[in-house]
Structure 1
Amino acid sequence: MSQTHSPKTGMRFIIHGCEFEITYVAHGWVRYAGTIGGKPYRIPYERFVEMQGSGSLQIQPQESARISAEGHALKISEQTEEETRATIRRARYVEAAIAQLTHPRSTKLLTAFIPALASQLEDATPPNPRTVCLWVKKYFDAGRIANAFVSQKHKRGNRTLRFPPDVEILITEGIQQIYLQPERRDCKDVLAFVVGKLAEQGVLTKGGTSLRIPTLRTIQRRVKALDPYIVARARKGKEAAERIARAAGRQVISPRPMFLVQIDTHYLDITLRDPDTGEVIGRPYLVCIIDVHTRVVVGVYISMLPPSATTTLAAVKDMLTRLGRGLPGGVPVKIIPDNGVEFKNSAFVRLCARLGIIINPAEIRDPNDKPHIESFFRTLTYFLVQKCAGTTFSNPAARGDYDSHRKAALILEKLIEYINEWIDNVYHQTIHTRTGRAPILAWKDATQNWEAPIFEPEEVDAIARRPETRTIHRGRVVVDHIEYFSHALATLEALKETRVTVLINELDLHEVYIEHPSERGVLIRAESTNPDYTHGLTWYEHQEAQKHKAALTESDRQRLGPYCDLLARWTLFQKIQADSTLARRQIARLTNGKGRQQPQIPAAPIEALSPLFLEQQQTIASVLPGQPSPQLPLLPGDLPSAPAGNAATSYEVIDLE
């Protein structure tokens, strides 16, 4: 069995190749966290020691070299300054007694020897001879081991029960059932629980009790001794507990500009008004991209749209086209988004894959992977947004009696102008506290000899779109209940290439691009069949309109009934069937079962017929020999009957006009 070590806070060990660090040890539990990421775990004390013995848990060599094994005396590195001095003092007395005395455990010899040795060691308070005798005995009993002089770790304080067992149980139950709950309860409530339970048991009365009752300070000490992670998890939730138990993490380093950028969405602390009606329309969203190496902002998009693929692509398109406007930007090597739904879409992934951008998503609810963009949001909030009229501040306590809605004065266009001006003229030209340089100057120096590709907005707009696969029908494709047409699509349909990829710009649904299925790089532009509705229409607005339409449809369906259309069709069908049956019966009765007779129209005199009609009759007679001339004029579409018994006779339709 391998040598085991007692778990101590800060000790690092390895399980299955992964490194962990102990963060808390108490009450028979060992809490530890991964050195990378900081995710917390718990394991019983006995299980920790058992895993060391089986070899599945290995203490790191540098840790075991400075930490004493289980059951052994503490090493000097584990002792306090006072304990270290006391250890060295014991060792000096024992070493001198063994070296100079024939009987180092003789009290008589030690009594005469200790004053002289104390004078040499300049020890103002020399130990008692019997004490030195015990030190020597301990040294020999340990087998002349040098660390036998080190004092064993002992637990200070009274370890006996301070209260009767019944009261101790009530204190533990009170902390579990009262204090470790999400409601805002304190130690006084725990003390009230203990007193109330004792009163229910009849132990506590108005006249007092013979039991010892804990004080409020006792409850507070018990609560303070709890694991802060357990307390935070019970009272505030798992995310809050992990945030408390996790360090800030390792520094994120980028070797050059546009090697690593961070992107995130922030809900701005300000209310805006509608430019036409003047009504308060709510708080806007900011999507921002920052370069880690220089701390410059390389992409911005501000809108009233909530976090979505639309706003994400808008910020990325701004980043890709900023170089053409003389602003910091370009194509990054790596991008770190969070795990929000706005970054988990095929359009964002497709664009990054096309440009060779590596996506490294941040951990859920972990700001350590993108601290620079979080720091920028805080700076923007404190130094600009909360200085504008209509700010909501960070929380109700900071807002006080400030009426954000009544004070709101800005419109979205003005806010965009202010933020862009603050970024370019204030933030970029202010010395950054972490880098020690102004971001814009650091960018210019780092990109002095850097020739980055410049993209036009039109070419970026053509590829930064959401792809959808659709089928061409009559030269049209339908996406989200909107029809798009192009004459080139009709040609593809005639060539049987009907399955195509439609690229949708979610900021403007008026037109789409369609990838040619057989010619790579060829894009076909298709316009909406309803331009009055789709001009300037965003995907978010269209979805809200569809929801409103669906709500109206559902309202009509509820008013008419869920099967109103089917019932109406069945009623009509029954009516038609009834009318048809009744008609047949009436005809049978009127005709005595012979059916309807065709009316006989008397023939017109020959002299009354026109020459053209006579010519037509002669033509028909020549075509159908042996057929008697008809007594009635032929109408367009009529054709005389074939001669009886002549099935092989062929007919030629002649245009009599």
Structure 2
Amino acid sequence: MGALIKQGTKFRMDNSSYLVRSVAREHFDNMIFYSLFDDDSQKVNNARVECMTQPELHKKIIENEAVIYERASDIPLQKLLTENQLNQMQLWQAFFDLHFEKHSKNFTAKHNVDETIEAFNWSSYNSRKYSRSSCQAKIKVYRDSGGDIRSVIGFGYHEKKNSKRLTAATEDLIYEYFCDYYLVRSDATAKSVHAIADMLRVKIRELSKSKPACYPVIPCVDTIYRRFRETLALLTTQKTLSKAEARKLRYKLGREFVPEDPLERVEMDAVYINLGLNNEANKFLGTIVMMIAIDTCTRCPLGYSICVGKNASESADLAIECLKSVVTPKDNPLWPCFGVPVRLVTDATTATKGNMYKSLALQLGANPVVTRTGEGWSKPFIESFFRTLRREFLSKLPGYLGSKTRINNRHLEATEDAELHASMTLE
């Protein structure tokens, strides 16, 4: 069994977008006919029609030569780096190479770091000599990311331009209101963007009185609009549409995110849980990474997988185990949900870019859809689920320090970590 590519499917190949015009069901292999597609004008180039077999497209997807997407904003793009960022990447890569060549263990030990600092040629990169604490922090981030040099380089102001920083609690509330009052099919509960902005401001004003630390700033209407525009480019035209057109647009978006039937659209992502776990002998095992898949029609979790370790991270094995959990029946009779998704939406992380994961998804019959990494609006329901999980459950567990992927550990001392606060076991 393989994933069925349907008419209207959009995919990216050789830096161009294509739309599947038709699928001919033949005896051996289905034949896919496709044409160039302009994402800006939403028009198909009728001058030329090309074709390939379905297994050929599957092979290109598995080998990362093609990618299925839903909207133009989902196409994974590599953000351009400034000259200073490129120089920083070269500097720290050379520093790490020298450091790991000199030392095979105790990478953040004071004497080892000091030795590398003195031996490194900072002047060749027109750089000042960094302090020991800065180098230790860079080494830790580099190792925790699995050797991703991009993780040690700041994003820079140019990538944060025109975006106002809000607290995590405020962002959570915007996510919830967007899911609960916009991506719905019922006129009784659906609200316009302006109405949602007014509701959010009133709610945040109330919460700022009881929880001033979590809600220190009441976002203006323009800031809330900008959050919606970051989600869907179509929303920028919302203010110029008539009520009837706006309703059609909302229904179109609602059907895209909230399908009519279960398993039509499943969102899958991982959450880092900075909670230390011990074994029965009270020996520290590490922190947690959990991958969860949720059905956007029923909002029911379909499966999950967990990794525990001192350097736990997203991996292809974690994604494969989660997919296995989605498609296999559960032992718990109170959790009857399982099945093969039609569209399996993930972001472009290393966990879901592996050949094994894509091959398994396609063989089972699921179409893996890729969105941009770091843009949670492309998967609003799984992100909303994670926020509820953090706020209502994880935050109440003893030893929970937050999420590694979010800047919410400023209340901790430099020496505090998950191992120091670990008190729970796997049982």
**TM-score bracket, shorter-length normalisation:** 0.3 to 0.5
* Greater fraction of residues in strand: 2
TM-score when scaled to structure 2? 0.40
Larger Rg: 1 or 2? 1
> Highest relative contact order (Cα 8 Å, sep 6+), 1 or 2?
2
